[in-house]
Amino acid sequence: MTAESPLAAPDTVRTVAVRGVAARVSVRPGVGRFVHEPPLLLCNGIGVSLEVLQPLVDQLDPERGIVRFDVPGVGGSALPPTPYPIAGLASWVAALMTKLGHREFDVLGLSWGGGLAQQLAIQSRKRVRRVVLVATGTGFLMVPAHPSVLAKMATPRRHRDPAYARRIAADIYGGSMRNDPEKGAKLLHAVTRSGPKRGYYYQLAAMTGWSSLPFLGLIRQPTLVMGGTDDPIIPVANPRLQARLIPRARLYLYDGGHLGIVTEADELAPVVEQFLNEETPS
């Protein structure tokens, strides 16, 4: 997937105003066989900007249209005037896609972004064609991480202190971070913009009291659920449960950690591509 297509369009990063909030957005138009196909919307994890997903983007089909964005208050997107619930953010993202000219789209959500992807699948069921859930859970009703892991996730310190990120990467991300914790520090500091601290806490607050568990059976889109067998943040029981409760879901478990879709994108992007390229049933 890394070979450049002669038709591949470059990513364009720009600011788009949506409901009074200036959002930093990266858009790569679909070309070739994807020129008329819905783009893939990527929803990121907590506290990080759209650059973190670049290794995945680099391994996806270069002709596929892709949309990335910084959540309000994170990276280069403006801090919203007040905290927001996840349902409100899903409505805002749908409005963003409308402003970008996309009536229909596929969505991939990583970690915190997987909660947003699940909410989008329900709220915008006529617009979301396919769903990919990566290393994500069902909100407060899920098999929780160890308390020591949750404590480290409760603040944005790892996004602001490279030495701290290096020290805790193995404990919270697992997978290849156990042997190379420097990967965690590089992902969080060399390629991403964290934004104001309040943006991180707004993301945490958005999920307060939220759970997708009661409505997983209502997600009717074809869904790929991916989970790592060494993920301290999202124990593997969670993707197993999601795949069991979503009617048209399939499960793909990989030997890796929480950020495997990024750190081992060369191995996992083809799994995503194969799923997205399947014919969508009526």
Mean pLDDT of all residues in 89-103: 98
Question: E strand or H helix at 24, and its extent?
Answer: strand 21-28
Q: How far is CA 96 from CA 66, 121, 123, 149, in A?
A: 14, 15, 14, 33
The pLDDT of residue 188 is 78
Residue among 96, 123, 119 nearest 19 (CA): 96
The pLDDT of residue 208 is 94
Q: Is residue 153 part of a domain?
A: no
- Residue 63: phi and psi, rounded to 5, are -90, -10
What CATH code is carried by the domain that includes residue 117? Answer: 3.40.50.1820
**pLDDT at position 237 over 50:** yes
Range with the poorest average pLDDT among 4-18, 55-69, 136-150, 227-241 = 4-18
The pLDDT of residue 282 is 57
The pLDDT of residue 182 is 84
The pLDDT of residue 193 is 72
Q: Is residue 83 part of a domain?
A: yes
pLDDT in tens, 186-224: 877 767 777 789 999 999 999 999 999 999 999 999 999
pLDDT in tens, 1-44: 444 555 677 899 999 999 999 999 999 999 999 999 999 999 99
Q: Is residue 271 part of a domain?
A: yes
- Give the structural domain span for 87: 12-146+196-277
Q: Is residue 173 part of a domain?
A: no
Q: Is residue 175 part of a domain?
A: no
Q: Is 111 a catalytic residue?
A: yes
> What is the domain count for the chain?
1
Q: Is residue 162 part of a domain?
A: no
pTM comes to 0.95
Q: Is residue 282 part of a domain?
A: no
Under the banding of pLDDT at 50, 70 and 90, the label for residue 87 is: very high
Structure tokens at 257: 């950690």
**pLDDT at position 128 over 60:** yes
Give the residues across from 254 on adjacent strands. 228
Options 111, 176, 194, 212, the catalytic residue: 111
Q: Is residue 220 part of a domain?
A: yes
Look up tokens 């892991």; give the residue: 149
